[in-house]
Structure formats: structure tokens, C-alpha cells
């Protein structure tokens, strides 16, 4: 997932050239990357994409071919192109660890550096963080819906190009999907690879039983048979049972069968009954066919006996209500030593100014209560009045039992990464542990509990003062 310097919007370069022309490019600046609404009409998101984002920042530079292309556009002056020859990111990044449960309006990344450095990286950081956070969130919703069932990521053929396919596999693993059909992702990220065979395999043989027998001979210890090419109940499952008996006679066991069409709840119950009666209770039942979290929840509610769900299109494309994209934005919050604020008639879309801390309030058992945005070094005491960032009339006191824990940490200073990358298993374990600590109802697919994010008293006052100042202009 290498990101060349020209993987950006043109306006990042034109603004950069303008800052350079005006002598503003070296002034200090701070930007926040955040989203205003959780995806899929849910209550949370799973933060992902930090490792590739930091990798991009460390490698950022313009090569000769890129500079020659920019010169060919005829819109940039020679002095600016000379400036780009030595352009590097030497700033600071503050972020939560990947796999952290995050919420609307709180900064995920805070980028500090020169105005040139911090502004230019906007587009690529949004590309990396928005998509991987969206996929990780979709995957988390799928794993919650599946309960004890396993999810396999089948989305490569429907993903947004090769890089999209790799990003999907990585982010889905953070969200709890622990295996993939994508072989390159398996090699690149160490994710277990799994799969079955296509209908074309069965159709290439004289009959279904011959196809199943041949596949079992080639893969006797990892054989999963697709049983719906002709008729699941009268052909596919009986033939799979025949092969299961033949494998056992040779000292092997059939691993599973895959259902890819029809009434999956009914067919899975019938498959489970047939294999159990025949003495094969360990055979797994895998289902696919346009699955998402709502379909999986419905199948479980109907008493299906599915062990493994293969999810492709709706995971790779993040389909579903409120899906398709995460509306992450990147806003200037401090420039040349002064807080900055975007004002608007909609308070929910005005920004939250200045450098800030993100604190997570937890109770005595470690369960999450709420998140609080505060100014650096601001002291918060029990009973302090906290403000809703979208509606200041909504306020509540800080609970007396709350302990405040920092959600973020510096992950890059002077353009250098501060900590080694964590394993995907560690990131997924963090996601699982944090989801378990959310308030009751937060994981509901429909009308979930809305986790509270609030502004501290000092940050609220600063925001109000800046809004009033802008109104007087």
C-alpha cells in the first residue's frame, strides 16, 4: 500500500504553492482528523489505518518523474518545484492505537508541523484512515452479529481495485474477521487464508460426485465442498456425505460444506441433521451469498446451524444503510500560535478549536461512561459541567465515580515513528476488549445506545468565545 506523493488532490498542491508564495509555509499549524457521524447508523467506529498512514508520512517525497509531471502542468513556478525536491514530513502525530473504539467529533489523528507539512498530507491521510476505519467497523458489526460463528473475508473480487482488496483484508482483521480468501493479504499481513472451490469445478466434471471425490483426493485434510451447483438436498449433501465416508475410511475427515444459495437457515438445519445422523458432527457448515450483519442476525434468529459465514461484497464495499464511506474530515484547529475555528450556521458542523486531549471516563469496573475533549493540562473534577458538541444546551456533570484515561498518545515526532507496529492479532484483541466495555445497547444493529462525547468547560468557553468573535466581524 505504497502511497506516492502525487496520490493527492490538486488543491493540496495549489494551496501549498500559495503558502510558499506568501511566506506562510513554515508557520506552525495543527490539524485534526475526525468524523461527525458513526457509519452504518451505528454508535461507534473501530479506528484503523494508522500503520499505513505513518508509513506514508515517513516515505513522503517527490521523485524526479513526479516533479517533471508537475512542471508539465504549467501552473507551478520553478522556485516552488525546487522547494518540493527536499520536501519531507517532519511533524508530530497524536493518535489512539488501532483497534480502539472511537466516536463522532473526537479527533482521531492530530497533525502538527509546518503549515506546508500538515496541510499537504490531508488527502492521503483521509484516504487511508477513512476507508480502513470504515471496513474495520463493518467487520466488527459482522462479528457481533455472528456471535460464536466465524467470518471469512471473501471480498477481493468486489473490492475497489488491488489496493482496496489488501486494505479490506487488513482492516477486516482488526475488526474481528480472522481469515481471508486473499492470498496476497495472507502473505503480506500474516492473515490465515481459507477457501473452497467454485461451481465451475463441479461443472467441469462428468458429475458432481466425481468432482467431489477428485477434490477430496487432492486436498484430503482441508476439503470443503460447495454443495449447491445442482440441488443441495437431493444431490449436493448426499454426495458430500459419500465423500465424507470415503475420506474417513482412508484416515481423513471432511472439513465442511458450503451453502451459497437458497434458504440458508433451512438448508443449514437440514445439513446439520444429515451429518449428525451419519456420525459427522464435526463437519462445519459454511454459508455465503450476499451476507451482511443484518442477514446474519436474521439467520441466527431463525435457528440456522451455520458455523462459518463467508462475507464478500457487503464487507469489501461496506454496503448497507449509512455505509459506503466514512465522512472523515481534516480541519485546521491552530495556526501560528492561535486557535482556529470554522463557524457555520449549523453548530454540529462547526469545528472544535485548538490542541486538545481526548479522555475516556470509565467506572470502577473499567466500563466506558463517556469521552471528554479538553484543553491540554485542564483539570477536571467530579461534577464539572460537560457540553454536547452539537448542542450546548445539552449538558451533564462529570460522574463522581469516573476515572479519566488518555485515549491518545504521540505516535510520531520529528517525522519518526515512536513505537513498533503491533500485530493484527493484538489490534483485534483490543477491539474485542473495548467493545465489551461499552454501555449496554451500544452494539445493537438497530437504534443503538448513543455513546456521549462532551466538551470540557474550558474548551466549551473557548469555542463560544471564538464563535462570538467571528459573529462580530
Do 20-50+89-117+332-472 and 136-316 share a fold? no
- Residue-wise pLDDT for 42-82, tens only, equals 999 999 999 999 999 999 999 999 999 999 999 999 999 99
- Residue 434's CB is within 10 A of a number of other CB atoms, namely 20
Whether pLDDT at 130 is above 70: yes
User: Predicted confidence band at 2 (pLDDT cuts at 50, 70, 90)?
Assistant: confident
296 has pLDDT over 90: yes
pLDDT band of residue 324 (cuts 50, 70, 90) is confident
Residue ranges covered by each domain of the chain? 20-50+89-117+332-472, 136-316
Cα 336 from chain centroid (whole Å): 33
pLDDT of residue 473: 64
Distance CA 387, CA 414 (A): 34
The answer to whether the CB of 431 falls within 8 A of the CB of 46 is yes
Q: What is the pTM of this model?
A: 0.96
Q: What is the pLDDT of residues 339-374, one digit of tens each?
A: 999 887 677 678 999 999 999 999 999 999 999 999
The class that CATH gives domain 136-316 is alpha beta
Homologous superfamily (CATH) for 20-50+89-117+332-472? nicotinate phosphoribosyltransferase (3.20.140.10)
Alpha-carbon distance 317 to 290, whole Å? 11
pLDDT in tens, 89-99: 999 999 999 99
- pLDDT more than 70, % of the chain: 99
Amino acid at each position: 500500500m505504497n502511497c506516492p506523493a502525487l496520490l493527492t488532490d490538486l488543491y493540496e498542491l495549489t494551496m501549498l504553492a500559495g503558502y510558499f508564495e506568501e511566506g506562510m509555509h513554515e508557520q506552525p499549524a495543527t490539524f485534526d482528523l475526525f468524523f461527525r457521524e458513526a457509519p452504518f447508523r451505528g454508535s461507534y467506529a473501530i479506528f484503523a489505518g494508522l500503520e499505513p498512514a505513518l508509513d506514508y508520512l515517513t516515505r513522503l517525497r517527490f521523485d524526479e518523474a513526479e516533479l517533471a509531471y508537475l512542471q508539465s502542468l504549467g501552473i507551478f513556478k520553478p522556485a516552488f518545484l525546487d522547494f518540493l525536491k527536499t520536501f519531507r514530513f517532519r511533524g508530530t502525530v497524536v493518535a489512539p492505537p488501532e483497534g480502539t473504539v472511537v466516536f463522532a467529533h473526537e479527533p482521531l489523528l492530530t497533525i502538527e508541523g509546518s503549515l506546508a507539512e500538515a496541510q499537504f498530507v490531508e488527502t492521503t491521510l483521509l484516504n487511508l484512515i477513512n476507508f480502513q476505519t470504515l471496513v474495520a467497523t463493518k467487520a466488527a458489526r459482522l462479528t457481533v452479529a455472528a456471535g460464536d460463528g466465524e467470518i471469512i473475508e471473501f471480498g477481493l473480487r468486489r473490492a475497489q481495485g488491488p489496493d482496496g482488496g489488501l486494505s479490506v483484508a487488513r482492516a477486516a482483521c482488526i475488526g474481528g474477521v480472522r481469515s481471508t480468501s486473499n492470498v496476497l493479504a495472507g502473505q503480506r499481513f500474516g492473515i490465515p487464508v481459507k477457501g473452497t472451490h467454485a461451481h465451475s469445478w463441479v461443472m467441469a466434471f462428468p458429475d458432481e460426485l466425481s468432482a467431489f471425490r477428485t477434490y477430496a483426493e487432492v486436498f484430503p485434510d482441508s476439503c470443503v465442498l460447495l454443495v449447491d451447483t445442482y440441488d443441495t438436498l437431493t444431490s449436493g449433501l448426499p454426495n458430500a456425505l459419500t465423500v465424507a465416508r470415503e475420506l474417513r475410511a482412508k484416515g481423513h475427515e471432511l472439513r465442511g460444506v458450503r451453502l451459497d444459495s437458497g434458504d440458508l437457515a433451512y438448508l443449514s438445519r437440514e445439513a446439520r441433521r444429515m451429518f449428525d445422523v451419519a456420525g459427522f458432527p464435526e463437519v462445519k457448515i459454511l454459508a455465503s451469498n450476499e451476507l451482511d450483519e443484518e442477514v446474519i442476525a436474521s439467520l441466527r434468529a431463525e435457528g440456522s446451524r451455520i458455523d462459518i459465514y463467508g462475507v464478500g461484497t457487503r464487507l469489501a464495499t461496506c454496503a448497507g444503510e449509512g455505509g459506503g464511506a466514512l465522512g472523515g474530515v481534516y480541519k485546521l484547529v491552530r495556526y501560528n500560535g492561535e486557535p482556529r475555528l470554522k463557524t457555520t450556521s449549523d453548530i454540529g458542523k462547526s469545528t472544535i478549536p485548538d490542541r486538545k486531549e481526548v479522555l475516556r471516563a470509565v467506572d470502577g469496573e473499567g466500563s466506558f461512561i463517556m469521552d471528554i475533549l479538553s484543553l491540554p493540562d485542564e483539570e477536571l473534577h467530579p461534577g464539572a459541567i460537560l457540553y454536547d458538541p452539537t448542542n450546548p444546551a445539552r449538558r451533564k456533570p462529570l460522574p463522581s465515580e469516573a476515572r479519566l484515561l488518555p485515549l491518545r498518545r504521540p505516535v510520531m515526532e520529528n517525522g519518526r515513528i515512536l513505537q513498533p507496529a503491533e500485530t493484527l492479532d493484538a489490534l483485534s484483541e483490543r477491539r474485542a476488549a473495548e467493545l465489551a466495555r461499552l454501555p449496554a445497547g451500544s452494539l445493537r444493529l438497530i437504534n443503538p445506545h448513543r455513546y456521549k462525547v462532551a466538551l470540557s468547560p474550558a474548551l466549551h468557553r473557548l469555542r463560544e468565545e471564538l464563535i462570538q468573535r467571528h459573529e462580530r466581524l
